[in-house]
Structure 1
């Protein structure tokens, strides 16, 4: 009679370890396979959904761009601005174009900035026939407004707060102007008039913006995550059962 016949309910630690390891390995394989399949299905469905969105959304936005092809002739949408000369983009206080189209009047402050040596805003876009009113703040000393290119106007020099000068822009194009006493200090500006002007794409600050795409961390595929979770669970179960059996289980030696 064998030991197993004498103790049918008693397993040795070695037998238990072998059977537990085999069962855990099989469970890990099954879990990993199902995890991979689930992840792949999720990825496929996610890809299809995003792909569909890209197809519809991309085509719709592409269509908008095609209809906005008038940008070449000056027709503007939210992603273009006047092609300013460096005289304007290098001006004090320049931070992009202020789109004031659709308004009969536009106001620009004279003597803006921390030292009063800037126009605010220095670059504006208006419709043909718009009247631009320059209003003095009284800061930075005496200023004037004088056309440099594309226009023919000039105001007197004044340091009085509330003093104003205006000009109506009847012809399209880009007009640059300056404060003659402070032009060497960067007190420049520009007025883009109408739709028939040269435009360029708006330059977004911050470049590609990694934050929008979720940062620079390493992203694991869903399948890899599923396999990792399955193997971790299976290995933990195996080690846990082995520890319990070795500490509290039956005899390791055979009975004589």
Structure 2
């Protein structure tokens, strides 16, 4: 049984989603304010958070920001359909993924399971067989979801770790955004989808520059991204 924290001020919606998620094997706790969402997310009793952007008083973006100051718990954002700004800001602040509202319960369950596979079970299974990945001064431990750059721990979200792991496994080669989306995020790349670009930007900021002053992750225009193998 996996504990899900649902943060949304729509009581009717949270009741419906709680019942559906319960039938799918999840244990759901619903809260209706950002303040309560922060407190519960930091309690250590939940495996994942579903967080609505449109919350009263403390909105979803600020709630996400406060959670990310202290925790790397996986967070799935619920955003307004057709509004890319909230999605981009949410990803930039460390959300693992988003689902536009209104969404079907089945779609929400699929996204939750995909995130949990990437951030827990799938990573542990792969890491147990393959051990650490080393590309120059970059070290990744997929089993424990740890990353170091020049001996310094990297504080990565689940999605960021997945993208960096895919790039590390293909160091020196170009990986298309479509492949990154499929392998790291578990979903096909849709038109005008910028989530890969946003995650890459965040990873670059956390890595800093290479010894020669260039970015460790290079953009290959029209082709994708490449992690330097040096």
The TM-score, its normalising length taken from structure 2, stands at 0.22
Give the number of the structure whose alpha-carbon radius of gyration is greater.
1
Structure number with greater CO (CA < 8 Å, separation at least 6) is 1
